[in-house]
Structure 1
Amino acid sequence: MNQTFQNLDYEKQNRIINAALQEFAENGFEKASTNRIVKTAKIGKGMLFYYFQNKEELFYYLINYSLNLANTKLLEQVDKKEPDFIERLKQIAQSKTEFHLNHPNVLNFLGNLFLTGTLEIPVHFKKRYQEMMNSRISLLYEGIDTNLFRKDIDTEKAFKLIKWSIDGYQNELIAHLKNQNLTMINYDTYWEEFYELLDILKTLYYKKEEEQE
């Protein structure tokens, strides 16, 4: 990659990255069109190949960019010391929702790239992706205080039901806010509804406060 790309202003750099992410996510490497990328990014084709020598170099740049961004925005912002499973899931859900809305093409790109298994990519990228997935599992369960849960329910099943509930609300929220002007949205109403959901989940699955002492 030409260093000039790193020196571009944020808006133009972001346009190129998002156009390329979308194209590769939707069409894969072989069918991805650099003509469509430059049209969406609103730049000349010659400029794209000035920044990147070829389509493969652009593709590898996007993998590295997406993995770095996902690690920073999805993993590092969650407090692993939080022992309450629902409270930790709240942090993860907020982080993931904001990530989806601000970087809509990154998770689609990574998911299509690594989960389909149809494209051969360098081993070190596969290793980094697996490490990220392992960190996500650790982020969910490591250090969780299972004593918060009622004694008459299966904790492992409760984990799944709680996660499904929160994932479902999060996916509904993302679908509702998709393509809206995010700078004009007041998120307080959505998060208030989300916190009400969490309170209901705690009532269903956790011991009463006096029983936790």
Structure 2
Amino acid sequence: MNEKFLKLPEEKQRKIIYAAIRVFAEKEYKHASTDRMAELAGISKGLLFFYFKNKKSLYLYVYDYLIGLIVRQLEDMDFKEEHDFFKLFELSIRVKSTLLKDNPYIHGFLLKARYEENEAVRQELSDRNKTFLEEMFPRWFPEVDFSKFKEDVDPWDVFMLLYYLGDGYLREAVCRKDFDLDRVCEDYERWMDWIKKSVYRKEYL
């Protein structure tokens, strides 16, 4: 990325980033038009590539930007003060739902990125997602009381189960004409409660 992009006013940076998010959310990587991104951002295509070397560097920058945004918003919620594993997951749901309400294209972009098969970015996305998950567990659950789990339950397995449950449900739900984010969150929290009853010791239910 050209350092001159970071020297732009924050509002201008955001306009370019969110124009890219929208187009990448609407189209797969291969078919995402940089002409359309430039149009939405109110700049020329040449200027877009002046700030970013190519579409790949822009795509990966946007991905990193959104992951960083999610992490910062979680940290702003004082999650280190919460010691219950499942309540922390509820916090993460609220953060993601707030982001999606603010800009519905954000989740579309992240979902497409999760399943992107284009050779140009597939490996980089896979590496980033693996690192994100591995770092997220110790970073977001630093003070969790894992003694609440049954002896034969691995909290990491539960973490991955909840992660992919939410990911898969949202991937299907956003395609519905009657998509309702609040209902999705309610469904997920209800399922999470079922899982909690299966993996927690009785005295913590």
Q: What residue is the counterpart of 2:139 in the other structure?
A: 139
CA contact (8 A) 1:85 1:141 kept: yes
- Partners of 2:150 and 2:124 in 1: how far apart? 44
Q: How does 1:37-186 map to 2 (within 5 A)?
A: 37-39=34-36, 42=39, 47-53=44-50, 56=53, 59-74=56-71, 76-77=73-74, 79-96=79-96, 99=99, 101-103=104-106, 104-106=108-110, 108-109=112-113, 112=116, 116-117=122-123, 132-139=132-139, 141-151=141-151, 154-156=152-154, 159-161=156-158, 163-165=160-162, 167-178=164-175, 185=180
- Which stretch has the larger CA shift, 9-18 or 162-171? 9-18
Per-residue deviation, 1:206? 1.5
The code of the aligned residue for 1:71 comes to G
2:196 corresponds in structure 1 to 202
TM-score of the pair, normalised by structure 2:
0.62
Q: Mind listing any 5+ residue stretches in structure 2 that lack a counterpart?
A: none
Q: Note the alpha carbon deviations across 1:97-123, whole angstroms, 9 max, x for none.
A: 55564412246448758983379xxxx
Q: Deviations over 1:167-213 (max 9, x none)?
A: 3244213421247597xx461x33333332232222222123xx35x
Larger radius of gyration: 1
> Across the two proteins, how many residue pairs are aligned to each other?
190
The TM-score, its normalising length taken from structure 1, stands at 0.60
Structure-1 separation of matches of 2:176 and 2:131 = 32
Task: Note the C-alpha offset of 1:49.
Answer: 0.6
Identity of aligned residues (%): 12
CA distance in 2, matches of 1:7, 1:139: 30
Paired letter, 2:22: N
Indicate conservation of the 8 Å contact 2:82/2:144, yes or no: yes
C-alpha contact 2:22 2:109 (8 A) present in aligned 1: yes
